[in-house]
């Protein structure tokens, strides 16, 4: 697999993307091209998990396949290989997605006033709190104004950190 000092990052990203079973499949794939059946056999993994893993990797451009047609039977055989040279682009796409989500969240936090239930912690925007007479929809306790400035500052800091990588 990847062995260039980013192993921990690669491991964490693949665990999040594929789950533990999928990550174990990737760890068990050797250099070269293999069918899904061969990968299942060499990794001692259920074929459905292997196929799911390969599909997710392919969708994210982290695996490629070559297709061969058997002239006698007409069967198609797919030979898969990992393609981690696209990993930096994958990380960049994910970073851009995260930045867009954080920007939307920041806008939401800035434009809303929030109320929170001191008993169960539910936080809702002013408009919804007003509709329910500032009574918690979960426990019935009175809701109080909640200052979200700390959340705004954390989001702004994270956005700033992510934007530094684009410069």
**Mean pLDDT estimate for the chain:** 92
Per-residue pLDDT for 1 more than 80? no
Classify residue 11 as exposed, middle or buried by CB count within 10 Å of its CB (0-12, 13-18, 19+). Answer: middle
Average pLDDT over residues 96-118: 96
pLDDT at 108 over 80: yes
Q: Stretch 97-101: mean pLDDT, rounded?
A: 96
| Contact call for residues 39 and 26 (beta carbons, < 8 A) | no
For residue 2, pLDDT beyond 90: no
Backbone angles phi, psi at 144, to 5 degrees: -125, 155
User: Which residues touch 77 (CB under 8 Å, ≥6 apart)?
Assistant: 35, 67, 68, 69, 70
Residue 5 has pLDDT above 60, yes or no: no
What is the pLDDT averaged over residues 81-96? 90
pLDDT digit string, tens, across residues 14-57: 999 999 999 999 998 888 999 999 999 999 999 999 999 999 99
Q: Evaluate if residue 151 carries a pLDDT over 80.
A: yes
Q: What is the pLDDT of residue 164?
A: 87
pLDDT value, residue 10 = 84
Query: What value does the mean pLDDT take over residues 112-134?
Result: 96
Q: What percent of the chain has pLDDT over 70?
A: 95
pTM of the complete model beyond 0.75: no
CATH number of 7-82: 1.10.10.10
pLDDT score at 47: 96
């Amino acid at each position: 697999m990847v062995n260039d000092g980013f192993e921990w990052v690669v491991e964490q990203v693949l665990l999040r993307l594929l789950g533990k079973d999928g990550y174990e499949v990737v760890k068990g794939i050797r250099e070269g091209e293999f069918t899904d059946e061969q990968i299942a056999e060499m990794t001692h993994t259920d074929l459905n998990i292997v196929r799911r893993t390969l599909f997710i990797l392919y969708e994210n451009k982290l695996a490629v396949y070559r297709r061969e047609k058997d002239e006698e039977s007409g069967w198609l055989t797919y030979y898969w290989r990992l393609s981690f040279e696209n990993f930096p682009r994958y990380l960049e796409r994910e970073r851009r997605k995260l930045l867009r989500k954080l920007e939307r969240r920041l806008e939401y936090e800035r434009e809303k006033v929030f109320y929170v239930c001191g008993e169960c912690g539910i936080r809702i925007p002013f408009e919804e709190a007003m509709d329910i007479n500032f009574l918690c929809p979960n426990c019935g306790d009175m809701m109080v104004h909640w200052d979200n400035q700390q959340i705004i500052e954390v989001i702004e800091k994270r956005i700033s950190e992510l934007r530094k990588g684009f410069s």
